[in-house]
Structure 1
Amino acid sequence: MDHGRDAFISYSHKRDSALAEGLQRGLHRLARPWTRRQVINVFRDTTSLSANNDLGGSIKRELEHSRYFIYLASPEAAQSRWVREEIEFWIDNRPMDRFLIAVSGGTVAWDTNTRDFDWDATTALPAVLRGKFGTEPLWVDLTRFRESEKLSLRQAEFRDVVATLAAPLHGRTKDALDSEDLRQHRIATRMLRGSVAALSLLLVTSLVAGVFAWQQRGEALVRARRSASQALAARALEIAGTDPRRAAQLALYAEAVQPTGESAQAMARAVAANEGVARHFEAGGDQVSESRGAGMIPLQQRLDQPRRQHPRLLPGLQRGASPRHSIRQVPAAASHPWATERRGPPVQRRRQAAHGGDHLQRDRAVGRARHQADADHRRQ
């Protein structure tokens, strides 16, 4: 006969539901390899039966395909009609040497003289079992676990009881089954530690790879900026002769993106290309006048002109340009916006430098006339 179940648990739903659930879980997990969900298949009506309109027929089919019958003995189970019918079916159709008893309440006493239970002292067995055993059957005591809220194989006493009931289901002795359970537990522990170590190594590798990728990203950005700066500088050098203003803008962009040797060269070339822009000095050095065109006199020549006409203007120009000077860009309205200026000397000397010797001679003449007028007035 094909046996689909290794064991069938019969119990009182009113009193032993939690105990039956813990027992089923313990039987499934004991000596279970870590690669398998369960080794043996234990039936319990609450978890194994599907909804149908023939409950009694389903129970009987499960009993027919079960190798062992585990009876959770208690006074409540002995009085249950369903439990009594399940036991009667097993007595009529299955061998009694595979009838296992787990006492959860009440008492069970064996009379060696009559080779039967002492029915005067026994309260946990139904009367249908009277005279059904030729020898004393195997039973275990579960009364101390009846009130436990959570049953686990980590509890040594509960594990020992489960191993006693599971040994015949596995076809092994209790000691062999216990050794197998310990071996499987060690294997599972090693696998767990190995998995944790592998995950830790993977995490460290991922972090290192992330840091390396971040560094590579930074280097890639630096290279991209350098390439962009070099490209802008190259373009500025290329058009410096034909479009100085545009070349100056590109040189500035290149320097802003990434200062490089090429950007510095482009800046110098742009300044040289815009050297003809007029530069004017005004009071305070805070304003720069507009350019008068690309054809105006270069700055150095303009500064040299008053020196040739009147040497006394040179110290004044030097004193005016030395204390405060800055590079300023000419407004966009100028013909050459790349022109730069230095803050200049005082207003009077700047005017003298701008207008030349004619204004100087006129001022001296006016001064001499005033001096002569004052002298005539004193004589009178």
Structure 2
Amino acid sequence: MRTRWSPRGRGLGSASARLRSAVAGRGTVRAELGYGAFLSYSGERDRRWLPQLRHAIEKQSRPWYKPPHIRVFLDKTGVSIGPELWGKIEAGLARSDWLVVLASPEARSSVWVDREIAWWLEHKSVHTILLVVTAGQLVWDERRGDWDPERSTALPARLAGKFERQPVWKSVDPRPDGDAGFSPDDAGFSPDVDGVAFGVASVVRGLPEDELRSEGLRDTRRNLRTARIVAAALGCLLLVASTLSVVAVLSRAEATRQRDQAVVQQLITQSSLLAERDPFAARLKALAAWRIDPSPETRFAVLDAAVDPASGVLSHSVPVNSVAFSPDGRTVASGGSDGVVRIWRTGTQRTAGRPLIGHHQGITSIAFAPDGRTLASSGFDGTVRLWDLAGRKQIGAPFTAGAGSVRSVAFGRDGRTLVTVDEADSGTVRVWDVATHRQTGHLLDGPGPVLGTNADGSRVGSSTSQGGIRLWDTESGAPAGAALKGGDGVVTALSFSPDGKTFATADLAGNLRLWDIGARAPVGEPIASPSTSTGARSITFSPDGAMLAAAYEDGGVRLWDL
């Protein structure tokens, strides 16, 4: 070798370094298997590249299902730490066929290398010792029939006089990384590991190097053929599996279609049976059938269920100012001008339990908490009250917003905060802590008469003096775009859809209109007011956004399918 290395002594006095090398080993000596070669070396220079040499020898071409032709014993990877270090090295020597000595000046002066050679000469033959020169040189003196002791700087002294004639030995060919040549101090120099591996394997196996390389080509071609056959077989299996998967998907789709058809027929039958005694439930059944299968048959069932003009009406004796759906859509809460909050079952259109009584004046807004167990109501008396729906009881003292009434109320998404809007023309938006009933801040000042807020209070809608609608961003306090024309009449109510993409408005004439927030334009034609109803005071979306509830001044609450 002609590169700069950091030599490591391998003597009896360097036992700790020997133990560190053993700790770095990845496996233990396997007594049941032998080795083709035992690598004897010394010095940090050789220690760094010998694992690569070991790997290169053992990975030489072979059928994939067979073990390596040559297993190599290397104390860096083959010996584990223990009290009998030499005993394990001696066991490795005993199970090896060849002793490969990495000859170098460091090996020449190493007591460990000398000890390994001594054991080999005592128990095996000098003819199974292969010298591989990694540094220094070996010079054979023909006249003496032995090594030249002065010029052979890499020869371990114990091998002097042991060979009857010049043996076969190998030299490590340098492989520079660059084109500028190399020197002993060139850090870019590296040994030709593959060349050394073929040289060692040819001696150990007794085969010419050319034959070993040809064997590698043959094995490579054989492995490629095997790989092609395996790939073809896997391709066939994949094709079969894909076909079976498609058949299974089609079968599942057909089974799902037949199941849905059976459910649709059942819903249509139930809708027909409920038409007289429970018109609202009949309408819901027909709508459910249409959503599963929007066919002419289900469309006719929906139209048939909608014939009854009383379907979807919750009757009140006083004007209704606010209405809200519960999160599960099974309950509707309404608040009237008498200050009473009533709870209704959407399926039966009947009241559920006792009403909630506590406000001294009419209700202005109501909202369900996200968990559906708590309801908030605001009134013209300037208070906001929380209600436990299970016990029909008020929770704690009311929130007092100050002078004037509260126009709107909404829970935050986590249910821990409450957003209220003042009735005054300034329309201040306030934030309250549900647990302490204390105001924690305000989101917006002076947007004008606020008609409604979205689910988390991040956006509010207000009316303008020209009868239009303006949306506000509560975080920035700035308008969210230009004002929108609300319709022919004055806008009296506004509600945001659950997904926040749509909002609905109502006017004094009782007409309803849907708006696309992104497009800032109306969606379809307005929903005309029923002839028996007057102006709408409150509107709200169902939790799934499929229905709209509107509260009218005549005391009626109508449910509209969108």
Give the TM-score of the pair, scaled to structure 1. 0.60
8 Å contact from structure 2 (residues 70, 201) kept in 1: no
**2:142 match:** 112
Distance 1:241 1:86, change over 3 A: closer
- Cα distance in 1 for partners of 2:143, 2:278 equals 126
SS at match of 1:71: strand
Match of residue 20, structure 1, among 50, 53, 69: 50
| Counterpart residue identity of residue 202, structure 2 | A
| Counterpart residue identity of residue 54, structure 2 | Q
Measured against aligned partners, the alpha-carbon deviations of 1:317-373 in whole angstroms (never above 9, x if no partner) come to xxxxxxxxxxxx9x9x99xx99xxxxxxxxxxxxxxxxxxxxxxxxxxxxxxxxxxx
Aligned-pair CA distance for 1:98? 0.8
8 Å contact from structure 1 (residues 9, 69) kept in 2: yes
Is 1:93 aligned to residue 123 of structure 2?
Answer: yes
- Cα distance in 1 for partners of 2:244, 2:281 equals 44
Q: Which 4+ residue blocks in structure 1 deviate beyond 4 angstroms?
A: 145-151, 189-226, 238-249, 267-272, 274-277, 282-285
Stretch of structure 1 that moved more, 27-36 or 120-129: 27-36
**2:270 match:** 235
More helix by share: 1
More strand by share: 2
Is 1:32 aligned to residue 88 of structure 2?
Answer: no
Distance 1:65 1:250, change over 3 A: closer
- Cα distance in 2 for partners of 1:11, 1:276 equals 101
**2:203 match:** 168
SS at match of 1:288: coil
- Cα distance in 1 for partners of 2:287, 2:122 equals 104
**1:6 match:** 36
- Cα distance in 1 for partners of 2:220, 2:64 equals 8
8 Å contact from structure 1 (residues 116, 131) kept in 2: yes
| Counterpart residue identity of residue 38, structure 2 | F
SS at match of 2:92: helix
Is 1:130 aligned to residue 160 of structure 2?
Answer: yes
Aligned-pair CA distance for 1:94? 1.1
Match of residue 74, structure 2, among 44, 55, 73: 44
**1:289 match:** 532
**1:187 match:** 222
Alignment of 1:258-297 (within 5 A): 258-267=293-302, 270=305, 274=308, 286-289=529-532
- The runs of 5 or more residues in structure 2 that have no matched partner are 1-31, 176-183, 312-508, 512-527, 534-549
- Cα distance in 1 for partners of 2:290, 2:256 equals 16
SS at match of 1:16: helix
Measured against aligned partners, the alpha-carbon deviations of 1:264-290 in whole angstroms (never above 9, x if no partner) come to 443565577x5999xxxx999844338
8 Å contact from structure 1 (residues 8, 42) kept in 2: yes
SS at match of 2:130: strand
Aligned-pair CA distance for 1:250? 3.6
| Counterpart residue identity of residue 135, structure 1 | R
Alignment of 1:182-221 (within 5 A): 182-190=217-225
Aligned-pair CA distance for 1:117? 1.2
8 Å contact from structure 1 (residues 14, 76) kept in 2: no
8 Å contact from structure 1 (residues 67, 98) kept in 2: yes
SS at match of 1:90: helix
Match of residue 59, structure 1, among 78, 89, 95: 89
Distance 1:118 1:226, change over 3 A: same
Is 1:178 aligned to residue 213 of structure 2?
Answer: yes
| Counterpart residue identity of residue 18, structure 1 | R
- Cα distance in 2 for partners of 1:197, 1:148 equals 45
- Cα distance in 2 for partners of 1:92, 1:58 equals 17
- Cα distance in 2 for partners of 1:3, 1:205 equals 43
8 Å contact from structure 1 (residues 247, 270) kept in 2: yes
Aligned-pair CA distance for 1:63? 1.8
- Cα distance in 1 for partners of 2:33, 2:510 equals 113
Match of residue 194, structure 2, among 159, 162, 172: 159
- Cα distance in 2 for partners of 1:206, 1:148 equals 53
Distance 1:287 1:25, change over 3 A: closer
Of structures 1 and 2, the larger Rg is shown by 1
Distance 1:123 1:230, change over 3 A: same
| Counterpart residue identity of residue 87, structure 1 | I
SS at match of 2:98: strand
Question: Root-mean-square deviation (CA), in Å?
Answer: 4.4
8 Å contact from structure 1 (residues 15, 76) kept in 2: no
SS at match of 2:42: coil
Distance 1:51 1:237, change over 3 A: same
- Cα distance in 1 for partners of 2:108, 2:63 equals 36
| Counterpart residue identity of residue 263, structure 1 | T
8 Å contact from structure 1 (residues 226, 260) kept in 2: no
SS at match of 2:45: coil
8 Å contact from structure 1 (residues 108, 122) kept in 2: yes
8 Å contact from structure 2 (residues 53, 196) kept in 1: no
SS at match of 1:135: coil
**1:103 match:** 133
- Cα distance in 1 for partners of 2:291, 2:198 equals 80
Task: Compare relative contact order (CA 8 Å, sep 6+) and give the higher one, 1 or 2.
Answer: 1
8 Å contact from structure 1 (residues 235, 250) kept in 2: yes
- Cα distance in 1 for partners of 2:65, 2:102 equals 31
Aligned residue-pair number: 287
Measured against aligned partners, the alpha-carbon deviations of 1:85-139 in whole angstroms (never above 9, x if no partner) come to 1112212221111110100011111122222112232111022212111121111
| Counterpart residue identity of residue 80, structure 1 | S
Identity %: 31
**1:74 match:** 104
- The runs of 5 or more residues in structure 1 that have no matched partner are 152-156, 291-328, 339-380
Aligned-pair CA distance for 1:56? 2.3
- Cα distance in 2 for partners of 1:117, 1:225 equals 95
Distance 1:287 1:43, change over 3 A: closer
8 Å contact from structure 2 (residues 174, 190) kept in 1: no
SS at match of 2:214: helix
- Cα distance in 1 for partners of 2:107, 2:168 equals 18
Give the TM-score of the pair, scaled to structure 2. 0.43
